[in-house]
Amino acid sequence: MNNMYDEYGCCSSCGYSWCEELSECIRVWETECTGHRRLTTMADFTMEELMLFVIGVLGALGGFMVILQKSKCESICWGCCKRNVEAVIQEEKLKMTGHTGDTPRIPEPENT
């Protein structure tokens, strides 16, 4: 079996878990299983589960910060990002041509 399935053959990444009373794989939000542990308060979670949650949240925040940096955001509010369009254009010019085009060019001598 691969990592998606538990020891009973339930697809845990699909939301299924084993119900001993029914002897089948169920989704707890679809089918009632009295043997399942109810997670309704913080006291219902183990320290390992809480730490995994915290690590997941911190990982998501880290990923969000990388996206903000890569998107050249000047400022952010909930649900929107004010992008520094000039910085994005400069970066694309640099990738495509090797320079940004902002370097002053030496004027060609005039023919007199």
Q: What is the pLDDT of residues 12-36, one digit of tens each?
A: 888 898 888 899 999 888 888 877 6
Q: Alpha-carbon distance 35 to 21, whole Å?
A: 7
What DSSP line would sit under 24-54, residue for residue? Answer: EEE-TTTS--TTSPP--SGGGS-HHHHHHHH
Q: What is the pTM of this model?
A: 0.36
pLDDT beyond 50 at 56: yes
**pLDDT at position 1:** 44
pLDDT digit string, tens, across residues 91-109? 788 888 877 666 566 667 7
